[in-house]
Amino acid sequence: MNINFLIQNNVSFTIVEIQEISTIVIETFLINCSFLILFITTLYYWIKFIFFSNQKYNNFGFYSLTIANLSILIQLCLRWFESGHFPLSNLYDSLLFLAWGLLLIFIFLEKSTKLDLLGIVISPAILCIIAFTDFSLPEDLQKIKPLVPALQSNWLFMHVTVMIFSYASLILGCLLSISFILYFYYLNKVSFYYSNSNLINKNIIYSTRLNLLDNLSYRLIGIGFCLLTLGILSGAIWANETWGNYWSWDPKETWALITWLVFAIYLHTRLIHGLQGVKSAWIAFCGFFILWICYLGVNLLGEGLHTYGFLDS
């Protein structure tokens, strides 16, 4: 009787171990595939930009990054199925979801604008995020773990999802603003652009791209700002339910407020004549670094109420 019980327990433990190992192998394969696709696509965008800038747009980058997006989505679904909860409880899950959100927005923009310049800017940024997630985070942080009691709430899905999408939209908007700044100063140095045996005023070509970059960055930052506002409000309600107060000046809360104020200033400058364009883009440039301090820097300090699953104390 005891022997049969031990055999059954050993078999059940073996099955669980095999399932865990197979999940880890599949996840490793998926994230490595995503990294490889992003690396190749980044090379493609930059080689085309440097050596073949006059060639017409093609869909290679679009389809490649779509495959990378699906690969990350499958990995997130696997972690959701394995853990039994939405995979946003630690830094590893959060970075994967951020990369997926960035790719999702990029795919929509690329499809609607058919502008290779977006891939030149965005694909290296997502590549860096995946590289940091895959190669820099400790293995213990990548493991699927049960939710701590404070995170066992329906607010987890709503609050964290909205915040991550706000970060994704703001990051892309800031990257396009940085590209706008580089293009603006490059435009002042070069007076003519030679294409297809015709001497065309370079201002006509690049002013169109400048306007497109400026408008896209403005719209993305506007959307991201609205989502950030909603995320902060939902977080305050959740904090009141969990800790008994809406605002505790936690480092994460403080930097979220600073981030909100910076992008509020950016949006305000867009309404003032004379501050639009490159001046407002510089504010977005500053906001890019403040956003990363809010999202990643505060968590790496390991202090405050928002460090669940990021770094062990």
**Per-residue pLDDT band at 6 (split at 50, 70, 90):** very low
**Per-residue pLDDT band at 189 (split at 50, 70, 90):** low
Distances (CA, A) of 155 to 101, 158, 159, 220: 19, 5, 6, 25
CA 194 to chain centre: 36
pLDDT value at residue 195: 47
pLDDT value at residue 140: 72
The DSSP-derived string for 209-276 is HHHHHHHHHHHHHHHHHHHHHHHHHHHHHHHHHHHS-S----HHHHHHHHHHHHHHHHHHHTTSTTTT
Do the Cβ atoms of 27 and 75 come closer than 8 Å? yes
Dihedral (CA of 215, 220, 226, 232) sign: negative
The share of the chain scoring above pLDDT 90, in percent, equals 30
Q: Which one is predicted more confidently, 162 or 306? A: 162
User: Measured between alpha carbons, how far is 22 from 16 in angstroms, rounded to an integer?
Assistant: 10
- Give tens-digit pLDDT for 245-267: 777 788 788 888 999 999 999 99
**For the chain, what is the mean pLDDT?**
79
